[in-house]
Structure 1
Amino acid sequence: MDCFVIKWTVKKAHEGLLLRDFLRHEKQISRTLLTDIKFKGGKIVVNGKEERVRYEVNVGDQIEVYFPKEQRSETMKPIHLPLTIVYEDDHFLLVNKPPNITTIPSRQELNVSLAQAVLYYYEQHHIPSTIHVVNRLDRDTSGLVLIAKHRYVHDLLSKQQKQKTMKRTYLAFVHGIVEKGKEKINRPIGRKEGSIIEREVREDGQAAVTHYQVLEQWKQYALLALSLETGRTHQIRVHMASLQHPLLGDTLYGGRRDFINRQALHSHTLTFYHPFLEKVLTFKASLPEDMKQLIIK
Structure 2
Amino acid sequence: MSSKLNFLFEKDEEMPLKEYLKFHLKLSSRLIRGAIREDRIRVNGEIVKLSYKLKNGDSIDISIQKDEEQNIEPEKIDLDIVYEDEDIIVINKTYGMVVHPTKSYPNGTLANGLLYYFKSSGQNCIVRLVSRLDMDTSGLILVAKNQFAHMALARDMGEDSFKKWYLAVAHNKFTEKEGTINLPIYRTGGESIKRIVDHRGQESITHYKVIEEYTAGSLVQVLLETGRTHQIRVHLSRLGNPLYGDSLYGEEYDDDLLINRQALHAYKLSFPHPRTGEVISLECGLPEDIKKLIEELKKS
Q: Specify which of 62, 67, 72 is matched with residue 69 of structure 2.
A: 72
Gaps of 5+ in 1: none
Q: Which moved more, 1:58-67 or 1:272-281?
A: 58-67
Alignment CA distance shift 1:78-1:243 (3 Å): same
Once the two structures are superposed, residues 63-99 of structure 1 have per-residue CA deviations (whole angstroms, 9 ceiling, x without a partner) of: 221247243222x111111111111111111111111
Aligned 1:1-297 pairs, distance under 5 A: 5-13=3-11, 16-39=14-37, 41-67=38-64, 69-74=66-71, 76-163=72-159, 165-179=161-175, 181-192=177-188, 194-254=190-250, 255=253, 256-296=255-295
Aligned pairs, how many?
A: 292
Deviation at 1:171? 0.5
Distance 1:5 1:154 in 2: 14
SS in structure 2 of the partner of residue 137 of structure 1: coil
Structure 2 counterpart of 1:104, which letter? H
Distance 2:12 2:122 in 1: 35
Contact 1:208 1:229 in 2 (8 A): yes
Distance 1:269 1:189 in 2: 24
Distance 2:12 2:35 in 1: 22
Structure 2 counterpart of 1:279, which letter? E
Contact 1:250 1:257 in 2 (8 A): no
Structure 2 counterpart of 1:214, which letter? V
SS in structure 2 of the partner of residue 64 of structure 1: strand
Distance 1:15 1:259 in 2: 67
Distance 2:88 2:39 in 1: 21
Distance 1:5 1:169 in 2: 31
Alignment CA distance shift 1:18-1:181 (3 Å): same
Q: Which moved more, 1:282-291 or 1:161-170?
A: 161-170
Contact 1:186 1:209 in 2 (8 A): yes
Gaps of 5+ in 2: none
SS in structure 2 of the partner of residue 159 of structure 1: helix
Alignment CA distance shift 1:279-1:195 (3 Å): same
Contact 1:184 1:209 in 2 (8 A): yes
Distance 2:56 2:36 in 1: 24
Contact 1:9 1:60 in 2 (8 A): no
Distance 1:234 1:105 in 2: 19
Deviation at 1:52? 2.3
Alignment CA distance shift 1:5-1:51 (3 Å): farther
Deviation at 1:46? 2.4
SS in structure 1 of the partner of residue 150 of structure 2: helix
SS in structure 2 of the partner of residue 172 of structure 1: strand
TM-score normalised to the size of structure 1?
A: 0.91
Q: Which moved more, 1:251-260 or 1:132-141?
A: 251-260
SS in structure 1 of the partner of residue 149 of structure 2: helix
Distance 2:99 2:67 in 1: 20
Structure 1 stretches of at least 4 aligned residues deviating more than 4 Å after TM superposition: none
Structure 1 counterpart of 2:51, which letter? R
Alignment CA distance shift 1:9-1:69 (3 Å): closer
Alignment CA distance shift 1:214-1:18 (3 Å): same
Contact 1:14 1:57 in 2 (8 A): no
Deviation at 1:183? 1.3
Structure 1 counterpart of 2:213, which letter? Q
